[in-house]
Amino acid sequence: MTAPATNSPSGTLVFEDFAPGHYGTFGPRHVSREEIVAFAAEFDPQPMHLDEEAAKHSMLGGLSGSGWHLGSLTMRMMFDAFLHRAASLGSPGVETLRWMAPLRPGDDITLDLDVLDCRASRSRPEMGFVKLKARVSNAAGTTLLELVSPLMIKRRSAAAAEG
Partner 1 sequence: MRFFEDLQVGTRSDLGSFTFTADNIKVFARQFDPQAFHLDEEAGRASPFGGLAASGWHVGSVCMRMLVDQARREAEEARRRGEEIAAWGPSPGFRDLKWLKPVLAGDTIHFASEVVSLRESASRPEWGILEARNTGTNQRGELVYSMVASAFVPRRKRA
Interface contacts to partner 1, rule CB under 8 A: 39, 42-46, 48, 58-60, 66-69, 71-73, 75-76, 79, 83-84, 88-99, 102
Closest Cα to residue 59, out of 71, 46, 69? 46
- Number of Cβ within 10 Å of residue 69's Cβ equals 22
One-letter amino acid identity for 156? R
Residue 41 or 139: the one with the smaller Cβ distance to partner 1 is 41
Cβ within 8 Å of residue 125, ≥6 positions away: 155, 158
- Number of Cβ within 10 Å of residue 58's Cβ equals 16
**Minimum separation from the CB atom of position 73 to partner 1 (A):** 7
Residue 33 or 76: the one with the smaller Cβ distance to partner 1 is 76
**Minimum separation from the CB atom of position 70 to partner 1 (A):** 10
Residue 74 or 110: the one with the smaller Cβ distance to partner 1 is 74
